Structure 1
Amino acid sequence: MILVYTHKVTPRVRYIFKHIFTRTLQIEVDFTSKVEDFVAFAGPKMSYTKVPLGNEFFIKSTNLLFEQGVSDVQIDVSVWEDVPCFFFQGQKSTIPFDVFSASFFLITRYEEYLPHIKDQYGRFPANQSLAFQNGFLEKPVIDIWAYKLLDKIKERFPDYEYKERTYQYISTIDVDHAYAYKYKSSIRAIGGFLKDIYKLNFLHAIDRIAVRFNLRKDPYNTFEEIISLKKKYQVRTIFFFLIGDYSTYDTNVSASKNKFRLLIKDMVDYARVGLHPSFYTMNDVEKLKTEKERLEGITNMPIFRSRQHYLRFALPDTFQKLIDLEIHEDYSMGYASHVGFRASTCTPFYFYDLDFEIQTPLRIFPFALMDTTLNDYMKLTPKQSLGKINDLNNEVKKVKGTFITLFHNESLSGYMRWKGWGRVYESMLKIITNS
């Protein structure tokens, strides 16, 4: 255990110290604001305050962890030991910047509470983030800082024994379109066929007819392959099913279709299943509740994992709604337009609500990349995409974090816009499990 002295033990202090020490570095931490208790403690200890008490391990604090609410924060990014950092505090501090305030600012998504221009889908854009603007979006800097902090602590307390965490990988699959053509209503089938003819997509029109009449397998029905790869490479896999009512942005098969319901039941037998709340649930708790109950009715088990469709969430409102509905894990923390680490960490963390100044029970699992980001936004070839995947995986492995990827069942099909992508998912699993 490490004892931390600080002039005031706030909820923010407890939250970020426990994340860095307990969840990232596997070190128990305790706090005191009494100088005599700190002096009397014989084990590893450090102070986090404005001025050192003596010659102890000392990190000079800014005001951020002792404030409440959100205010405009002045940030100047510099470099320390080849790593971007901010909240520079000078050389009297053992580490020359306030690693705890900087980590808190990034992991709470503090900047997303500040005024910003949303994108066309009402999301916080990656290009407005501090990480993107300063070139560290593709590095889990909070984890990197944590291990640099650990190196300094080891120098000061060489006899203290430390545990090491292990690298983990989680494959997540969003099911926006379980099937390309099968099990859709006659109106949607006829409309799609006429649209194909109008756009002169005759091959698609033929495929549509062949699938509807069971002459060909639906191209998006790649679930057996995903389960087979899960077993082959022994990877933890989670499916997120979109079962909301039909809308412009929610076009999956109807949850009333028996074949779709049977598919979901089958996946429960082989993998974990979560909810993929539909486009408009970001601000509609009743719609979110209906969809959660709908999925629970299909699986006959509590649903406590989710990922927002289109990655649409607003802080803190959407997460507060998830907590109210007893969702314990959310996998939405990432950008659609860019790969990397939106919260600057590859360690699952508890959502800290800046409105109420509390650590909540909602655990956030940040993903590092999405197939549509690589293909649709970045316009990378499959080979280039695998290179980018390898780079991000290596960043996570360096800090023994949790690498989370987001693929869609349709990208394994190699069909239409996914032409040439049929083997990318398995190639990625080979990279991850063999590296």
Structure 2
Amino acid sequence: MQRIDLLKQDNEIWELFTRKEEYDNHSRDHHDRFLYSMSRHGDISLPRASGVLIEKGYSCEYPEARPFAICLTHDIDTVYRPLRSKILDILCALKGGDLTQVGYIAPQLCSKKRPEWNFNEIVDLEASYGACSSFYFLALEEGDRDYAYAIEDLEQDMGTLLDRGWDIGLHGGCEAYRDSEQLQREKRYLERILNRTVDGYRNHFLKFRVPDTWELLEQAGFRYDTTLGYPDSIGFRNGMCHPFQPFNIHTNREMEILEIPLAVMDRTLFSYMQLNMEQAWARMERILEAVERYNGVITILWHNVFMTGAPLRIYRKILEYGCEKGAWMTGCREIEAWWRKGGMEPPRIYNAPGLEISGCFPADNPEQTP
């Protein structure tokens, strides 16, 4: 039985998977986002839609028989740090008694680049655990809302990331998620700087409209998106801990774009949920265990500005956990390419002894082979 048909059998799961409650819903925060606190689906700590598929016999295999995947990503919102911001961080660290953080920031007071211009340090850290990741850069022009840096200034740094095997995608500006012209302009801008096609996307502030943003991304030529996650709670927004092709209930069709859903963002843990390090890791470990149980993919967003102090220690613990568990720790580009080749395999059907017939593959496309 096809995956879509399986999910349709349970009305609650189907509505969770399709995000039906977000269609034409006018409940939004001041950033025009649908929040977890607005949802009627309570517990999102378990991937219930993925669970249905796995329980029905679907299975996933990863390179080198890895048990699950940790998809590592970084949104680059800023690279230039104002002096005032650094001083405020020092004052906050002093108030909290975090002398290590004070010692880290203090030498950077006279530097324009540090600690936000830290791409090489991030890459070196991940490489030490056998991991790689995806970086999402803003491609805004001076005068655009939330313009923070000139993408041309980072051309050499982005070239180094690509040369080392890391991935680069577009971090869409505040209006790109609902403005086709703006979205395509930003995509062309980044592609011109990189001199290559940009396939991956995540919107600034996790701004997203279901299903409109997926449609705009398809029209713009993106292969995958990784925005679908809540800013105010970690977990599985549509019950999936696996990449999936969204189903548009307005058009009654499965879309071509692949969604690699976001499960955890650093700001969610430390700002929205206001967890301390111990609480953050406890919640993080619970989510990791759920994804491992379902042989899934957990996508994690860690901003470059969170690569200090307690947030950095949590990120290291994630890498250590993945290393100990034998997880495939990589970026979205490799996840997307792997998924298109086979991804989630359906149950095997045995018609007679020695005769094995397999069903459909990820897009329920009979022409697709494992």
Same fold (TM over 0.5): yes
Structure 2 Cα separation of the partners of residues 381 and 246 of structure 1: 37
Asked whether the equivalents of residues 170 and 405 of structure 1 are also in contact (C-alpha less than 8 Å), the reply is yes
The Cα shift of 1:235 comes to 2.2
Question: Match of 1:431?
Answer: 321
Structure 2 Cα separation of the partners of residues 225 and 105 of structure 1: 42
Correspondence for 2:155 among 261, 271, 284: 261
1:298 aligns with 2:193: yes
The Cα shift of 1:305 comes to 0.3
Structure 1 Cα separation of the partners of residues 244 and 147 of structure 2: 32
Correspondence for 1:147 among 12, 31, 54: 54
Asked whether the equivalents of residues 232 and 273 of structure 2 are also in contact (C-alpha less than 8 Å), the reply is yes
SS in structure 2 opposite 1:303?
A: coil
Residues 299 and 409 of structure 1: is their aligned pair in 2 closer, same or farther, counting only changes over 3 Å? same
Question: Match of 1:43?
Answer: none
Asked whether the equivalents of residues 220 and 413 of structure 1 are also in contact (C-alpha less than 8 Å), the reply is no
Structure 2 Cα separation of the partners of residues 353 and 194 of structure 1: 43
The Cα shift of 1:227 comes to 0.8
Question: Match of 1:111?
Answer: 21
Structure 1 Cα separation of the partners of residues 254 and 169 of structure 2: 23
Asked whether the equivalents of residues 412 and 424 of structure 1 are also in contact (C-alpha less than 8 Å), the reply is no
Asked whether the equivalents of residues 15 and 359 of structure 1 are also in contact (C-alpha less than 8 Å), the reply is no
Letter in 2 for 1:141: R
Question: Match of 1:406?
Answer: 301
The Cα shift of 1:211 comes to 0.6
- Output the aligned Cα RMSD: 2.8
Task: String of CA shifts for 1:153-203, please: whole Å, max 9, x gaps.
Answer: xxxxxxxxx86534111101111113325xxxxxxxxxx669979xx99x9
Q: How does 1:107-186 map to 2 (within 5 A)?
A: 107-132=17-42, 136-150=43-57, 165=61, 166-181=67-82
Task: String of CA shifts for 1:239-268, please: whole Å, max 9, x gaps.
Answer: 1111223568624212243xx221122212
Question: Match of 1:84?
Answer: none
Asked whether the equivalents of residues 245 and 254 of structure 1 are also in contact (C-alpha less than 8 Å), the reply is yes
Correspondence for 2:111 among 192, 211, 227: 211
Letter in 2 for 1:274: G
Q: How does 1:318-357 map to 2 (within 5 A)?
A: 318-357=213-252
1:238 aligns with 2:134: yes
Letter in 2 for 1:404: T
Residues 385 and 355 of structure 1: is their aligned pair in 2 closer, same or farther, counting only changes over 3 Å? same
Residues 424 and 109 of structure 1: is their aligned pair in 2 closer, same or farther, counting only changes over 3 Å? same
The Cα shift of 1:321 comes to 1.0
Question: Match of 1:157?
Answer: none
**TM-score of the superposition, structure 1-length normalised?**
0.65
Residues 193 and 130 of structure 1: is their aligned pair in 2 closer, same or farther, counting only changes over 3 Å? closer
Correspondence for 1:221 among 117, 137, 142: 117
The Cα shift of 1:312 comes to 0.5
Asked whether the equivalents of residues 242 and 260 of structure 2 are also in contact (C-alpha less than 8 Å), the reply is yes
Letter in 1 for 2:111: V
Structure 1 Cα separation of the partners of residues 177 and 163 of structure 2: 29
Asked whether the equivalents of residues 170 and 235 of structure 1 are also in contact (C-alpha less than 8 Å), the reply is no
Asked whether the equivalents of residues 244 and 258 of structure 2 are also in contact (C-alpha less than 8 Å), the reply is yes
Asked whether the equivalents of residues 47 and 239 of structure 2 are also in contact (C-alpha less than 8 Å), the reply is yes
Letter in 2 for 1:339: I
Asked whether the equivalents of residues 248 and 255 of structure 2 are also in contact (C-alpha less than 8 Å), the reply is yes
Structure 1 unaligned regions, length at least 5: 5-13, 21-64, 66-97, 151-161, 182-191, 415-419
SS in structure 1 opposite 2:33?
A: coil
Structure 2 Cα separation of the partners of residues 313 and 218 of structure 1: 31
Task: String of CA shifts for 1:76-96, please: whole Å, max 9, x gaps.
Answer: xxxxxxxxxxxxxxxxxxxxx
Structure 2 unaligned regions, length at least 5: 62-66, 93-101, 326-370
Identity of aligned residues (%): 26
Asked whether the equivalents of residues 136 and 171 of structure 2 are also in contact (C-alpha less than 8 Å), the reply is yes
**TM-score of the superposition, structure 2-length normalised?**
0.75
SS in structure 2 opposite 1:245?
A: coil
Letter in 2 for 1:412: M
Residues 261 and 396 of structure 1: is their aligned pair in 2 closer, same or farther, counting only changes over 3 Å? same
Q: Quick one: higher RCO (CA 8 Å, sep 6+), 1 or 2?
A: 2
Structure 2 Cα separation of the partners of residues 206 and 335 of structure 1: 34
Asked whether the equivalents of residues 178 and 212 of structure 2 are also in contact (C-alpha less than 8 Å), the reply is yes
Question: Match of 1:10?
Answer: none
Structure 2 Cα separation of the partners of residues 194 and 406 of structure 1: 22
Asked whether the equivalents of residues 137 and 341 of structure 1 are also in contact (C-alpha less than 8 Å), the reply is yes
Structure 2 Cα separation of the partners of residues 368 and 334 of structure 1: 6
Letter in 2 for 1:266: T
Aligned residues: 307
Letter in 1 for 2:311: W
Question: Match of 1:312?
Answer: 207
Structure 2 Cα separation of the partners of residues 357 and 422 of structure 1: 43
Letter in 1 for 2:162: V
Question: Match of 2:360?
Answer: none
Structure 2 Cα separation of the partners of residues 178 and 106 of structure 1: 37
Structure 2 Cα separation of the partners of residues 374 and 193 of structure 1: 24
SS in structure 1 opposite 2:115?
A: coil
Residues 413 and 361 of structure 1: is their aligned pair in 2 closer, same or farther, counting only changes over 3 Å? same
Letter in 1 for 2:265: M
SS in structure 2 opposite 1:421?
A: helix
